[in-house]
Structure 1
Amino acid sequence: MVTNSKDNNALRILMFPWLGHGHISPYLELAKKLSRKDSKIYFCSTPINLKPIKNKILDYNSIELIEFPLPSSQELPPHYHTTTGLPPHLLPALKDAFEMASPQLSNILDTITPDLLIYDIYQPWVPKLASSYKIPAVHFQTTGATAISYFYRLSMNLKTAFPSTIIHLKDIELVRMLETGGGDESDPENEQDRDRVFDSILGSVEILLIKSSREIEGKYIDCLSDFIKKKIVSVGPLVQEFVGNDQENDDVITWLSKKEPFSTVYVSFGTESFLSKKDLEELAHGLELSGVNFIWALKFPEAEKITKVEEALPQGFLERVGEKGLVLGGWVPQAKILNHSSIGGFVSHCGWSSVIESLSFGVPIIAMPLQNDQPLNARLVVEVGVGLEVEKDDKLEFGREEVARVVKEVVVEEKSRETFGKRVKELSEVLKVKADEDVDNAIKELKRLCENNLRKVE
C-alpha cells in the first residue's frame, strides 16, 4: 500500500535500486540508516525482490515497500524479475524491461510525491524523469570508488594520471574482457551498458553517494570526484545487521566454536559469482594442502542443477579433510561467521560488499577475484595491507599450490598473520567509529540538496 501523508518534517525519500541482490542489500541497509534519522523511506523494487525484505523491516515503521511490476512475458516471467537465478542470456532482456516500465515510476512519483529520489546503476532515465517532476535525484553507487574511477578513466580515455600503479588490470585480464564481451565497445550491448552506467553517475544532482569510507579509499574518492565533477559523499560500509543471539544455524556456530581463535578461513564467492569446475577443484586441493580449518559456502548456478555439494568436489575430499572442513550449500549467516573469534581469514572473490564486510569485522582477505571490479578490489586489499591476492597462471586459472601458499601466509605464518591481523583490526575500529558520522554527513548533504531544490521550485 502506498501512502502519501506528510509525516512531520521527515525527509521523504524514494529508493530505487537495480534488481540484483548485491544492490538490493546495500540499498536496504542505507534505507534502515536513513529511516533512523528522521526520514520516511519508500523502498521500490519488483515483487520478487520485495518478498524476502518484508521480514527484515518489521522494526522499521518508517520504511514502506513499493512494488514496481515489470511487464510479464513468456521469456521473462515474474520470477525472473531479479538477477538472482536469472539465466545470463536473459540479463539484456531484464535491463530493457526495467527501462520500459518507466511509466510505473511516474505513477509512483505522482502518488507519493517524494522530496528526493535515490537511484542506482543502469538507470539514466530515472534522473531525467525525476527532473520533470522537479525532484532531485541522487545516484547511490554500491561499487567502490577505486574500481569506478579506474573504469571511468579507461572508458573515457582520460589522460589524467591514476593515483596508483598497484590498482590496474593486467594485459591478460583486459584481453579476457574483450574476448568475453565485457570491454568490446563495438558490441552494441556492451556500449549501451557502459553508457547506462556512466550516464547514471553523471545524471546525479550535485553529489554522489557511495558505499565506502575515506579510511579505505580516500584518494580514489577524490579521484572520482575530480573525474565526474561532483562531490562524493561516503555513507560508510553499511554492513548488514544481525542478531547475536539468533538461534538459526546453531550447528555452524557450534562447529566454529570448537576451533582455536583465528585458525579457520571462511570461503565464499557471493551469490552471483561462480568458479569454473577446474578452479573449484584447485581451491579444494589448495585448502587441503594448507592444512587450515575452513568453512565453505558453496553455491552453483541454477542451470547446473547440482543438488549435493559432494558432486562438485574432488573425489574423497570431504573424507580426507574430516573435521577440518565444513562445506555448506545454500544460504549461510555470513556476518555471524565473519564475526566469530575462530575466523582468521576470508577467501573471497572480492565483490565490493564482501570486501567491506570483511574489513568491518576485522578479518584479513585471501583474494581470489573472478570478474568485473573484483581484480581491482583485490589489489586495493593488497595496497591497504589487509590481505593478499592468489595469483593466477597465464590462462587466468588458479593453482592449488598458490592457494595453499597465500592461505598459510595470511592465517598460519606468525609474522605475516600478526601484521595483517593488526592492520585489519585497526581499520575495523576506525570504520565502526566513522560509520554513524558518514551517515549523519550524508543526511546533511541530502537535506541541503532538498532545501536548495525547494527554493528553486518556489
Structure 2
Amino acid sequence: MASQTYNQKNQKNLPIGVVSVPFPMQGHLNQTLLLSNLISSYGIQVHFAGSTTHNQQAKQRLHGWNQQNIHFHDLQLPNLNSSIPPLFNEKTTEFPSHLQPLFDASLNLRQPMFKLLQELSLKYRRIIVIHDTLMAYVVQDLKFIPNAESYALHSVSAFAIFFHIWDSLSDGKPFELDDDIPNCRDLLNEGCLTQEFKEFIALQYKALDFESGRLYNTCRLFEGRYMNLLEKLPTNANKKLFAMGPLNLVDINRTNPSKIRHECLEWLDKHDKNSVLFVSFGTSTSLTEEQITELAIGLERSDQKFLWVLRMADGAQFSAEDYMNKKNLLEGYESKVKHKGMVVTDWAPQLEILAHSAIGGFMSHCGWNSSIESISMGVPIIALPMHSDQPKNSIFLRDVLKICLLVRKWEKRDELVRWDVVENCVSRLMVSKEGEEMRRRANELGRKVRDSVEIGGTSYLERDSFITHISR
C-alpha cells in the first residue's frame, strides 16, 4: 500500500505525454503529423505510432515543419495480399478498392498498440491518445489504462462529417435545419465508397465510445456554423469539440529559406501574379489514360498558364514516387506546351505552390487537405471530386464559401469530362469577371484564416483551450 501511494504521488509530478495514432493513408497521415507538430510546439512530448513505411512517408511529405520533440514508434504491419495496381486504370473503380488490403491489415495493430500505450502510461501522469477516427478499433483498449484519455481526430470538414452523421440517424432528426443550409444529402451518398470500406468505417464508429472529445482540422471562422451543429448532435453529448485548424502552415515563408526549392517553384517565379492554374488530384486516385488525355487537351486549348502535378495513386504497399518517379506520362506533351505549362510527375510541395503569388486557381479533387490548404492560401478552386467526402467538400466550397466552380454534377461522375468542359472551366476561373470575383473572395477569406492562427485569433484561442484542457 505504501509503495502504491508513493507511485501515485510520484506520478503526479510527471508531465503529460501525447500519443498520435494515424490512419495509413496520406491525407490522414499528413493531418495527424501536422497536429503532432502543433502540440509539440507547446513543449509537450509527442509519440507518433504508425507502421514503419507510413511513418517514413509522413515525414518525407511534411510541408515546411521540422519534427521537434516527436518520437516515432515503428509498428509492424502483416504482409499484404495485394498486387501493385496498374499505372492507369482502364475504368474508374470505386474508392478505395486498391487500398482496402492495407486498411484491413491495420486492424492487426491493436495488440502492439495496447502494449505501447501501457509502456508509455508509466512515464507520464496522463497520456493523451489522439487517434484518427478510422483507428478507433486499434486503440480501443486504452480504456483499460487508468491514466489514459483519448480524442478522435476527424480528417474531413465539419460540413462533411455533420451530414455523414445526420444521414445515419435512424431514430429521427433531433432538430430542424435552417432553409439556407445546402441540401447535399440526397445527391452525394451513392458512389462515394465501396461497401467494404463502409463496413470498415462502421467497425470504427462502433468502437467510438471511449473518447473524451473530438478534434477537427478546420476553423470556426468559416465552419463555425457546422461546428455548432455538430455540438448539438446527440452523438456528441458530453464530448468536447475543438476546431484546431488550419493545421497546415499558413505562412510558408517562415520555413528555412536555405533549403533547396523544387524546380516548379523556380518555374513559377517567372510568371505574373495570379496567372497560373495549379492542377493536382491528390494521392488516392489514378485518373484513366483517357481522362488524362482530355484534361491535357483542355488545358492546352484554354491558352492559360498551368502547373500540373500528374501522378498515380499511392498503393497499398508503396507510395507513388516509389513506383513512377519522373516517368513521362504524356510523351511529347511537355515539349508541346513548354511555353505555357509544366508537368510534374514526382512529389511536389503543394502548400508552397498554393502560397506562390503566381497561382491564381487550383483544379482539385477537393480532398479536405487540399481544400483547407487552398482556403488558407486564398486560392479559388475548380472542383472535380472523385470519392468519399470530396463531393460534399465541393458543395461547401461552392455554395457556402462561394470560391469554387464545379466541373460536373456528382450524378454524372461516371462520365468522361471532355476537353471542352475543362477549357471552359479554366477560362471561367482564370480570365472572367466571375473568376476574378471568386479570387477576391478567396483572397479575403485566406487573409482572415491566416489571421485566425495569430495571437488572439479564433484558431489560436481554440488551440490554447485544448492544450490547457489536456494539461490540467
Instruction: Check if 1:426 corresponds to 2:444.
Output: yes
Instruction: Check if 1:222 corresponds to 2:228.
Output: yes
Cα gap change, 1:325 to 1:214, in 2 (>3 Å): same
Query: Secondary structure in 2 aligned to 1:124?
Result: helix
- CA displacement at 1:379 relative to structure 2: 1.1
Counterparts of 2:218 and 2:288, CA distance in 1: 30
Counterparts of 1:244 and 1:75, CA distance in 2: 41
Partner of 1:403: 422
Partner of 1:17: 22
Query: Secondary structure in 2 aligned to 1:284?
Result: helix
Which of these residues, 65, 69, 73, is aligned with residue 62 of structure 1? 69
**Amino acid paired to 1:33:** L
Which of these residues, 144, 150, 157, is aligned with residue 163 of structure 2? 150
Matches within 5 A, 1:70-85: 70=77, 72-73=78-79, 75=81
- Number of equivalent positions: 424
Counterparts of 1:12 and 1:28, CA distance in 2: 15
Matches within 5 A, 1:188-199: 189-199=196-206
Partner of 1:256: 268
Which of these residues, 16, 22, 32, is aligned with residue 27 of structure 1? 32
Q: Is the 8 A contact 2:326 2:346 kept in 1?
A: no
Q: Is the 8 A contact 2:262 2:348 kept in 1?
A: no
Instruction: Check if 1:98 corresponds to 2:106.
Output: yes
- CA displacement at 1:118 relative to structure 2: 0.6
Query: Secondary structure in 2 aligned to 1:44?
Result: strand
Counterparts of 1:360 and 1:302, CA distance in 2: 25
Counterparts of 2:45 and 2:326, CA distance in 1: 44
**Amino acid paired to 1:11:** I
Cα gap change, 1:62 to 1:449, in 2 (>3 Å): closer
Q: Is the 8 A contact 2:282 2:313 kept in 1?
A: no
Which of these residues, 284, 303, 311, is aligned with residue 296 of structure 2? 284
Q: Is the 8 A contact 1:249 1:333 kept in 2?
A: no
Partner of 2:466: 445
- State the TM-score, normalizing by the size of structure 2: 0.80
Q: Is the 8 A contact 2:114 2:139 kept in 1?
A: no
Q: Is the 8 A contact 2:137 2:204 kept in 1?
A: no
- CA displacement at 1:112 relative to structure 2: 1.4
- CA displacement at 1:95 relative to structure 2: 3.0
Counterparts of 1:191 and 1:370, CA distance in 2: 16
Which of these residues, 166, 177, 184, is aligned with residue 168 of structure 1? 184
Cα gap change, 1:235 to 1:136, in 2 (>3 Å): same
Cα gap change, 1:8 to 1:59, in 2 (>3 Å): farther
- CA displacement at 1:54 relative to structure 2: 5.7
Cα gap change, 1:426 to 1:46, in 2 (>3 Å): same
- CA displacement at 1:210 relative to structure 2: 0.3
Counterparts of 2:445 and 2:465, CA distance in 1: 25
**Amino acid paired to 2:405:** L
- CA displacement at 1:364 relative to structure 2: 1.1
Counterparts of 1:68 and 1:419, CA distance in 2: 49
- CA displacement at 1:90 relative to structure 2: 6.3
- CA displacement at 1:322 relative to structure 2: 3.1
Counterparts of 1:375 and 1:435, CA distance in 2: 28
Percent identity over paired residues: 25
Matches within 5 A, 1:4-403: 10-52=15-57, 60-70=67-77, 72-73=78-79, 75=81, 89=97, 91-113=99-121, 114=124, 115=126, 116-126=128-138, 128-134=140-146, 135-157=148-170, 158-159=172-173, 160-162=175-177, 165-168=181-184, 171=187, 174-177=189-192, 182=194, 184=195, 189-199=196-206, 203-205=210-212, 207-227=213-233, 228-229=235-236, 230-240=239-249, 243=255, 245-301=257-313, 310-311=328-329, 313=330, 317-382=333-398, 383-392=400-409, 394=412, 395-403=414-422
Structure 2 unaligned regions, length at least 5? 1-9, 84-94
**Amino acid paired to 2:156:** T
Query: Secondary structure in 1 aligned to 2:152?
Result: strand
- State the TM-score, normalizing by the size of structure 1: 0.83
Cα gap change, 1:58 to 1:307, in 2 (>3 Å): closer
- CA displacement at 1:288 relative to structure 2: 1.7
Structure 1 unaligned regions, length at least 5? 78-86, 452-458
- CA displacement at 1:316 relative to structure 2: 5.5
